[in-house]
Every structure is written in structure tokens, then in C-alpha cells.
Chains A and B, each alone.
Chain A
């Protein structure tokens, strides 16, 4: 199968702390992969290595067959193709909603102002934030901020979108609105890599689930496999905490 991303023997250490140990997996077009696992297992670090916010210590990250860890690769160019949605939104506080969604298009992709606006408004409408183009981030609720952050990432036309616990910082009543947007995205065929504690999302929406434990991929399979017949004791143990 033709993969967009292929992670090979990825290793990341902080000092002497080996946080990612020989990670191997690939991401094909249209896949929606949920990454689950207990806190500290290395999920965020994995995403941050993939879009190069952290420098991997070893291994390869092949994007369409090219290793992006090679020094010749233009990492800014690569990042426009691999979008990221953060737990803490990270909207630009000095711009309004519209400018948050156009600034990358005009300055990084060098799109014209009108084209960028049209695209931004289009995605803002899709996430239900079209009315708020004039608002500053501080004037929005958490759920609204996260939806704008998703629109900002989409406006760059990425091939893959990484989500790092996009609903963990939200009040419970706002989790739904963000998950709905993500469900729509998944249905539209977007390739997604989602670190989440929302087991319902992992089970019902994703096409594949990766369970991480202690810096390693413990289990990797379809939602049915992972949730109904987990092979590893650790996976069973982890999931039993959610079924209560």
C-alpha cells in the first residue's frame, strides 16, 4: 500500500531518558489512526517528532519515501503538509480568527489575499465558526478556539493532520462540538493521527488503533481487534480502566 508517512526505528531520548524506543508504523492515505496509552507513554513526543517540533534521536521518518530527518529536506515546507492541532490550541493571540487562518497561507504558501480569505472562510464555516472571523482568540471559548485551530490547520491543505489530545483541555460540554468536527473530517477522507483519551472516538470513528506503552507500540490493529480481543496484557489492563 502507498503510504504517506513511514516511521522506521524511531528513537527519541531526553538526556538519558529514552522516551521513544524503536517505533515502527506507517500511515496510508485516508487512514484515521487513534493513538491511545497512559500518560507518559510517549504519545505527544511521537507526534512532535513526526512534525519535527522535537528532533528525533534516531531512525527515519519517510514522507512519500523521503527521509525528512535528512539535513537537505526543507522542514518548513514539510510541516505545511503535516498539520498539527494542539491540546492548548495555540491560536495566535495577536490576530483575529480570520487572520489566524490566513497568515500561514499568505506568508508560507504565498497565496493571494483573496484566495486565502475565501479558503479560510470556507473552512471556518465547515467548523461552524464562520460568524466569528472578527473575534480575537481571548474572546472565544475553548471549544471555539479548538475549532478555529482545526480550520487554521486545514487551510494549509495538509496531507496528514496530527491531533494531540484535542479535547483534553476542554470543559466537558465542549468536547462534543470538537469531536463532531473531527468526525466530519474523518468521513471526508482526511488522513488523521489522533492522540486521544476519548475511547468512543477511537472505537467508533478511527480505522486503526495504536496502543502505546512505555515508549513502544504495544499493539496496532483495527478498533475491533484492540477493543474486543486485545492480545497484550497491558492493552487489556489499560482498557479495563475505561470500561470501569
Chain B
């Protein structure tokens, strides 16, 4: 058998395992990127909160402690390898607390917490990058801090950090491979089983790399498409004189040419 025949052999005999591994990888990557974003938004939001003028010494103190704990979380999880975090949490919970995390829950907890630590910094930066005028405009019409964040600042931050969210998803697709240390049967684990069984490292690696690339490339295209959707159309409809009826008019205003056509 030559190189290509061996690749075909792998696909024929291990295609299903590879697809299962790829599916596991994708589920973990997508779920954990999502959960990581939720964690990141929560942490980033708290870290950019300033105590209100009416908050007493106790509330200020609590906020300070919470911020300190969150900063420690971010620094520790950004500053240590995820492979060790996986081992630490997986074996730690079973040794110290006698909890046996299943393969799935362990994988999802570890990758989410890790992604959350990165996203927290991204979200913090995203919030701080929004022009303070946006929040002043909101406060000036009576919005509370919470409403200002939810309705004005976070949607704009989300749009601005979409590229980093995409980046995290792609990193997660690749980095779930470290979960093979706790026995998660994802794509990289499948690769190791195949190459171990057949001693065809080169061919198995080639096939697996192609699959990884298809996954990441497809995701980055889809994310780009979502970003464009979020931006909305580059032109808008001029409303007709009968504006109360909200029927969009015949004319279209073009942002680029700056005129109607």
C-alpha cells in the first residue's frame, strides 16, 4: 500500500470513529465557548463595575473582595496549561472530594472555566473600549446602570469582541486535544488510537489534520457571516411621509454614495 492507499484505508476503517471524535470535539468546543462567554461576560461585567455613590462601606468591601477573587481566577487559569488544569480538576475532585466527574462533565467544566478566564479579559477590554459618551447618553435619559449595560454597552461590546469569540472557538476546537489526558474520546484521542493500532502515524496525522482544518475553517467562515449579519445592511430605507404607518418607502438611501437612488 502506498501513502494514499493507507489514508483511504484509515478513512474506510476508522471513518466512523473519526467522525465521532470530530463530533465530540465540536460539541465540547461549541458548548464550552458559549459557557465561557457567559462566564466571561459575568466576570467582565463585575470587574468593570464601580461602586455607586450611595453604596455603603459594606457593599464597597464585598465588591472589592469579589473583584479580587475574580482577578485571581483569571490569572491562574490564563497562567497555567489547560492540560494540567484538566488533570488537577479531574483527579483532584476524585481524590479530595471523592466525586467522580464523568468524562463529559469534566471536559465541559475544564474548557468552559478556561475559556471564561480568557473571555473575562476580552469582555473587560470590550466594555472599556466603548466610548463613555454611550453610557452618558443612556444615564442622561434615566437608564439605570444595569439597563445601560444590558441595552447599550454589552450589545456593542459583543459586536466588537466577536472576532475574539471566534478566535476562542477555534482555539477550543484544537485545544480539546489536551482532554485526552483524562480519557475524553475526542478527535485527537481517536488519532492516537488509530496510529497506535496501525503504526501509520504520518497518514493518520494527515487525515486528522485535514478534519481539524475543515472544522476550524468552516467555523471561521460562519462566524464572519454572523458578524456581517450583526452589522446590518449598509443602506437603509427612507420612510415615506406616512411615517406612522411604518411602511418603508420606495427610495433607498445609500451610505456610500450619500444619496437616494
A-side residues, CB < 8 A to B, are 51, 53, 55, 71, 76-80, 83-84, 86, 88-94, 96, 103-104, 107-109, 117-118, 121, 124-125, 130-136, 138-139, 149, 152-153, 156
B141: nearest chain-A partner, CB-CB: A104
Closest Cβ–Cβ distance, residue B259 to chain A (whole Å): 12
Are A152 and B232 in contact, with the CB atoms below 8 A? no
Complex partner residue of A80 from B142, B152, B239, CB under 8 angstroms: B142
Are A108 and B155 in contact, with the CB atoms below 8 A? no
Residues of B in contact with A, size category? 20 to 34
Interface readout for B231-243 with A: 1 if CB under 8 Å, 0 if not?
A: 0100111111001
The residues of B that contact A77 with a CB separation of less than 8 Å are: 142
Are A135 and B143 in contact, with the CB atoms below 8 A? no
Complex partner residue of A108 from B142, B232, B239, CB under 8 angstroms: B142
Complex partner residue of B151 from A55, A86, A107, CB under 8 angstroms: A107
Knowing A80-B142, A121-B243, say if A91 contacts B137 (CB, 8 Å): yes
Are A93 and B156 in contact, with the CB atoms below 8 A? yes
| A-B pairs with beta carbons under 8 Å apart, 10 shown | A51-B140, A53-B136, A79-B140, A80-B142, A86-B140, A90-B131, A91-B137, A92-B152, A94-B159, A109-B142
B143: nearest chain-A partner, CB-CB: A108
Label chain B's interface by main secondary structure: mixed
Contact of B53 with A by CB under 8 A: yes
Closest Cβ–Cβ distance, residue B252 to chain A (whole Å): 10
Are B136 and A86 in contact, with the CB atoms below 8 A? yes
Are A84 and B140 in contact, with the CB atoms below 8 A? yes
A71: nearest chain-B partner, CB-CB: B54
The residues of B that contact A91 with a CB separation of less than 8 Å are: 137
The residues of A that contact B136 with a CB separation of less than 8 Å are: 53, 86, 90
Contact of B248 with A by CB under 8 A: yes
For the complex, what is the distance from the CA of A131 to the CA of B138, rounded to whole Å?
Answer: 24
The residues of B that contact A78 with a CB separation of less than 8 Å are: 142
Q: Give the 9 A-B residue pairs with the shortest CB-CB distance, closest first.
A: A90-B137, A80-B142, A104-B141, A84-B140, A90-B133, A108-B142, A134-B236, A79-B142, A135-B236
Are B137 and A135 in contact, with the CB atoms below 8 A? no
Closest Cβ–Cβ distance, residue A68 to chain B (whole Å): 12
